[in-house]
């Protein structure tokens, strides 16, 4: 089977001065994880590791560097899915953790459940020995300044149909040597969201999906719109009937027309063909090509 890895780091009008940091973060995740996939790492381990690296990178809205909510706090959402079994783990509105995607995986593998939120998720994290950080450990000067800036704007809303807002959610999709597919997505949500707001990222079929019989997808963009059209599942279903790239494109068309929103998708079908599409000005994303070289794009 072909070994595949594709990664995204947000889709929006990324300011030009942030291009290089986005490219660098995506490239670092590709170059670190792909050699391990080639040596036999599972797709599930690969997407978790790739997303962990992006959660550690303060460039992105995931883990360190996440947006602040209306209370000036960081609440994180994440999901991981195993395409071989359809098992998934998800967390929503968790605080003070660098790697919510790894907590999601523990929920998948060590509990009877698939999704934990808020205090219940925190309690589980503590019980299994996850390191709890001080809130400042995830906070960047950039996001604190942005929070103060948008707080002064009486017209700022965390979601508008058809209005581009920052969206630096991260995600990864992989196929391993056994042909297994996996997907993972992690986010701090939208700037100045209501406390307790949960977007698409941890919602199965919206923020990510993986099924060895159709494909695997991770999304980024406007959560309220992406949830309306279950974007990841929509694209995976389309992969059964058309080329991977066309499935991604049609998924984004549906997001635009029916969801009235903006965003991006990356994916891999059962043949190992890559897919991507977005209707934002830019999307930070990259894949490993046939020559084992990292291809990184921001448009
Ligand atoms: N796509 C991330 C969010 O809306 O929360």
Question: DSSP labels for 20-77?
Answer: HHHHHHHHHHHHHHHHHHHTT--HHHHHHHHHHHHHHSTTSSSSTTPPP-TTS---EE
Q: Which of 241, 240, 238 is nearest to 252 (CA)?
A: 238
* pLDDT for res 236: 98
pLDDT (0 to 100) of residue 159 = 66
Would you give the end-to-end CA distance of the chain in angstroms?
29
Looking at the CA of residue 187, tell me the nearest atom of ligand 1.
2
Closest protein CA for atom 5 of ligand 1: 189
pLDDT of residue 26: 98
Q: Quick one: pLDDT at residue 108?
A: 98
Rounded to an integer, what distance in angstroms lies between the CA atom of residue 282 and that of residue 58? 19
Give the Å distance between the CA of 201 and the centre of ligand 1: 6
Give the model's pLDDT for residue 161: 58
Alpha-carbon distance 67 to 160, whole Å?
Answer: 17
Length of the chain: 299
Contact of 85 with 91, CB cutoff 8 Å = no
Q: Is 264 in the pocket of ligand 1 (CB under 6 A)?
A: no
DSSP state of 114: S
**DSSP code for 256:** H
CA 270 to centroid of ligand 1, rounded, Å: 26
Verdict on whether the full-model pTM lies above 0.85: yes
Classify 10 in phi/psi space as left (phi over 0), alpha (psi -120 to 50) or beta: left
Tens-digit pLDDT profile for residues 137-185: 999 999 999 999 998 888 887 666 566 677 899 999 999 999 999 999 9
Beta carbons within 8 Å of 220's beta carbon, 6+ residues apart: 8, 9, 10, 11, 167, 168, 169, 170, 171, 185, 187, 263, 264, 265, 283
| Contact 201 CB / ligand 1 (< 6 Å) | yes
Q: How far, in Å, is the centroid of ligand 1 from the Cα of 214?
A: 24
CB 51 within 8 A of CB 30: no
What structural domains does the chain harbor? 4-297 (3.60.20.30)
- Whether the CB of 200 sits within 6 Å of ligand 1: yes
Establish whether residue 221 lines the binding site of ligand 1, counting it when its CB lies within 6 angstroms of any ligand atom: yes
Cβ(267)–Cβ(235) under 8 Å? yes
Supply the pLDDT for residue 164: 64
Q: Is 169 a catalytic residue?
A: yes
Residues of the chain whose pLDDT is less than 70?
158-164
Catalytic pick from 169, 190, 219, 280? 169
- Ligand 1 atom closest to 197 (CA): 5
């Amino acid at each position: 089977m072909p070994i595949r890895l594709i990664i995204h780091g947000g889709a929006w009008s990324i300011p030009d001065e942030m291009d290089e940091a986005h490219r660098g973060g995506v490239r670092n995740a590709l170059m670190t994880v792909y050699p391990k996939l080639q040596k036999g790492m599972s797709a599930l381990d690969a997407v978790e590791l790739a997303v962990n690296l992006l959660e550690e990178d303060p460039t992105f809205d995931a883990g360190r560097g996440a947006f602040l909510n209306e209370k000036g706090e960081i609440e994180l959402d994440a999901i991981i899915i195993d395409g071989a079994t359809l098992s998934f783990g998800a967390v929503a509105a968790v605080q003070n953790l660098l790697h919510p995607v790894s907590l999601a995986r523990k929920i998948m593998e060590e509990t009877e459940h698939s999704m934990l939120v808020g205090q219940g998720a925190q309690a589980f994290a503590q019980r299994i020995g996850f390191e709890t950080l001080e809130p400042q450990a995830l906070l960047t000067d950039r996001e604190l300044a942005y929070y103060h800036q948008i707080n002064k704007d009486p017209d700022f809303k965390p979601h508008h149909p058809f209005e581009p807002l920052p969206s630096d959610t991260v995600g990864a999709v992989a196929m391993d040597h056994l042909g297994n597919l996996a997907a993972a997505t992690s986010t701090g949500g939208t700037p100045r969201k209501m406390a307790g707001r949960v977007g698409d990222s941890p919602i199965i079929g919206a923020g990510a999906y993986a099924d060895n019989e159709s494909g695997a997808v991770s999304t980024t963009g406007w959560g309220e719109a992406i949830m309306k059209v279950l974007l990841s599942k929509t694209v995976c279903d389309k992969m059964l009937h058309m080329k991977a790239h066309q499935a991604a494109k049609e998924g984004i068309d549906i997001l635009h027309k029916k969801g009235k929103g903006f965003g991006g998708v990356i994916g891999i079908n059962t043949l190992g063909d890559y897919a991507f599409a977005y209707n934002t000005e830019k999307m930070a994303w990259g894949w490993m090509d046939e020559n084992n070289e990292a291809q990184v794009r921001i448009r």
